[in-house]
Structures are given as C-alpha cells and as structure tokens.
Amino acid sequence: MVNQFQRHSTVRKYWLLMRPHTLTAAIIPVLVGTAIAKIFQLGSEDRINIWLFLAMLLACLLIQAATNMFNEYYDFKKGLDDHESVGIGGAIVRHGMTPKSIFNLAIAFYIIAAILGLFLAAQTSFWLIPVGLLCMAIGYLYTGGPFPISWTPFGEIFSGLFMGMIIILIAFFIQVGHVNGTVVWMSMPIVITIGLINMGNNIRDRVKDKHSGRRTLPILLGKRLSLHVLAAMYIVAYVWVIYTVFFVPGGSIFFLLVLLSFPWPIKAYRRFKKNDTPETMMPAMIATGKTNTFFGLLYALGIYISALLGNI
C-alpha cells in the first residue's frame, strides 16, 4: 500500500513538473495547422499522414515540457521561486527534486524531440532542422542564458509567434509540403490566445517579478492598462475569425464555433480585475489557459469540418 502511494506521489510530482495546464499551448497549434492542411488536400487523394502528425505532436509536447523545466530550474537558481511561490510546478521547493535532475530531464526531452525532428525532416525537408533548432533555442532562452526573454517585455510576442505561428506553419508544411499566406493569416488568433496565457502569468506575478528585477509587459503597463490590452487582444482574436468567415476567400461559417469559447476570456478578465494577489488571481490565470484550449479546439474543429464538407 505504501509503495503504491509512493509511486502515485512520484508520478504526480513529475506530472506537475511538466506544468500540464500549459501543454495545450503545444497541442492546439499542431491541431490547427493540421486542420488547415486538410483544406489544401481537398480534391486530391492525399490524406493526413498520421505518423507525421503524431511525431510533430510529441515533439512539441516534449519541447513545451522541457521549457517549463528550464523555467523552474532557472527561476530557482535566480532566487525567484520559494515555498511561498504560486503557480509553479514546485518540484524543487516543494517536492524535493534537485535542480540538476530537472535540468538533465529537460535536456533528455530536448534530445528526444530532436530525434523526432530529424524523422520529420527526413520525411519532408531538411529545412525543418534549422527551424526546429531555433524553436528549441527560444524555449531554452526564455528563462536561460544571459538575457532571458522572460525578463523582458517581449515574452508574449515570442511565446505567441514561436508556440503559435511557427508550430502551425510546421504542422501545415509537413502535411502539404509548402506554406502560404492563408495559413499565416489563419494562425493569428492562436498567436494571440497563446501570447495572452503568458500575459496572464505575468499579470499575476508582476509584483514579485518587479522586485526581482524583471521588466515584463504588465510591469511596464501596470495592472489596469494590462487588463485593457488583454481584453482588446481577445476581442481582436474573435473579430479576426469573424472577418475571415465573411471577407476572406475560403472562410467558412463553421469557423464561428470559436464563439462558444467566449465565456472564458470574460471570466479571465473579470477574475483578474476583481483580485490582486497571486493566490486569488490563479483562477484568472487558469481561465487564460482554458480560453486557448477551447478556442483552439473549436477553431481546429471548425476548420476540419469545413474541409470535410468541401466548404473551403
């Protein structure tokens, strides 16, 4: 009984280390990019290559999990995480894991992701190798290196572009063999919703981050203006989809499924506005993650349905 409890505790410790609430930020872009690829396979005998899809999905999950581990490692090393910290995996300060073991596990995840990347490149194009290496470098440099991205006002931009747009473009490319302006345009709502997960995290942690010397966007803007930006960008994401439906060639009414996710950004905004401590803002932070999850799933579903029905 004790051994079973210990095994459960160990599994839970590693699960929390990967920060599972962030992993959908790696899953959603792969789903959206693959769904858009289905559009461009209409009228042909081509089908989605499930092995390329699964390899891409697993590689992205590993990179995201490793990025979270680098985050925990470097935040601990720089004295940002302690027993009172909110919203972290807590593998070091709460669960007794050593910084070295976490760093080594992150490197192992990167190695496996790199092997999967080589497989994808061998099946499609070796141009994927430098692109993949760049994405992995950004994942590390987000909290590692002499000038961590997470200490600057550009964290939202980097996370949105590299976790959102670039992953969508790669997922699209490995299925179709090229990229185009349509997939770039259609990736933008996901760029926004992923970037706002990062912004929500920075709003929650802005006080402690400021004392640590960080200069994140919410620190520069202040909470009130940050919430205005948050709300405005969520509106842009939904309006972007609506505009695509009615004014962009190939837009489909099924894209409007994303509107079913609209309660979540409202919850995020209201909970941030109502609360002002890291503990009480955790539900708001969770709501930004769920916004990306439900928005992205509904967006991918709408695109895929449209492709299947030949509406695009």
Residues 256-295: pLDDT tens digits? 999 999 999 999 999 999 999 989 999 999 999 999 999 9
| CB 81 within 8 Å of CB 72 | yes
Band of pLDDT at residue 148, cut at 50, 70 and 90? very high
Mean pLDDT of all residues belonging to the chain: 88
pLDDT of residue 17: 75
Is 16 inside a domain boundary?
no
Please tell me the total count of domains within the chain.
1
Band of pLDDT at residue 47, cut at 50, 70 and 90? confident
Show the tokens assigned to 134.
């760049």
Is 141 inside a domain boundary?
yes
Is 148 inside a domain boundary?
yes
Query: What's the whole-model pTM score?
Result: 0.90
CA–CA gap between residue 188 and residue 238 (Å, rounded) = 10
CA–CA gap between residue 259 and residue 67 (Å, rounded) = 31
**pLDDT, greater one: 249 or 283:** 283
Output the CA torsion 282→284→287→289 (10° steps).
-60
Burial class (CB in 10 A: 0-12, 13-18, 19+), 247: exposed
CA–CA gap between residue 67 and residue 223 (Å, rounded) = 26
Is 17 inside a domain boundary?
no
Number of residues that this document lists for the chain:
312
Band of pLDDT at residue 28, cut at 50, 70 and 90? very high
Q: Is the pLDDT of residue 134 over 50?
A: yes
| CB 130 within 8 Å of CB 168 | no
Is 102 inside a domain boundary?
yes
Burial class (CB in 10 A: 0-12, 13-18, 19+), 310: exposed
pLDDT of residue 287: 94
pLDDT of residue 8: 46
CA–CA gap between residue 231 and residue 225 (Å, rounded) = 10
Written in H, E and C, the secondary structure of 216-243 is CHHHHHCHHHHHHHHHHHHHHHHHHHHH
Q: Is the pLDDT of residue 182 over 90?
A: yes
| CB 269 within 8 Å of CB 233 | no
CA–CA gap between residue 166 and residue 289 (Å, rounded) = 19
Is 2 inside a domain boundary?
no
Percent of residues in the chain assigned helix, strand, coil, to nearest 5? 75, 0, 25
CA distances, 290 to each of 5, 11, 52, 61, 182 (Å) = 30, 24, 27, 17, 26
**pLDDT, greater one: 225 or 40:** 225
**pLDDT above 90 as % of the chain:** 69
For the domain that residue 179 is a member of, what is the CATH number?
Answer: 1.10.600
| CB 218 within 8 Å of CB 202 | yes
Q: Which of 228, 210, 212 is nearest to 220 (CA)?
A: 210
Is 11 inside a domain boundary?
no
**216-234 as b/e: b if 16+ CB within 10 A:** bbbbebebeebbebbbebb
Q: Is the pLDDT of residue 7 over 60?
A: no
Q: Rounded mean pLDDT of 222-227?
A: 96
Is 207 inside a domain boundary?
yes
| CB 261 within 8 Å of CB 238 | no
- Structural domain harbouring 196: 22-309
Q: Is the pLDDT of residue 107 over 90?
A: yes
